[in-house]
Amino acid sequence: MHALFDMYKVDPCGSAMWLGSVQSYSVALFELELTAAKAPGDYAIVNRQTGERNVLNFGLSVDGHHVTVVTEGVSH
């Protein structure tokens, strides 16, 4: 099976660092949640077939729990 989703770490200046590819959106989300546990910030999942991009913000709430917010969904 081919990898269909690319994962990126997005920095505040707008550049992105490729983190890898996986076969499903749910696996991409899980991988990014694990990564964000060590490095909160902005991440993106890009569907290679459709070009759809979801930008996710993983931050810490006041009580110390991780919060995931989908900030953008873009289809190309």
pTM: 0.77
**C-alpha gyration radius of the chain:** 12
- Pairing mode of beta strands 5-10, 16-22: antiparallel
Q: Which pLDDT score, from 0 to 100, does residue 3 have?
A: 85
Per-residue pLDDT of the chain (76 residues; tens, 9 = 90+): 688 999 999 988 889 999 999 999 999 999 999 999 888 889 999 999 999 999 998 876 555 555 555 555 554 4
The DSSP-derived string for 18-64 is EEEEES-HHHHHHHHHHHHHHS-EEEEEEETTT--EEEEEEEE-TTS
- The CA distances from residue 43 to 1, 2, 13, 63, in Å, are 24, 22, 13, 22
Specify the number of domains making up the chain: 1
Residue range of the domain that includes 16: 5-74
Q: What is the pLDDT of residues 55-66, one digit of tens each?
A: 998 876 555 555
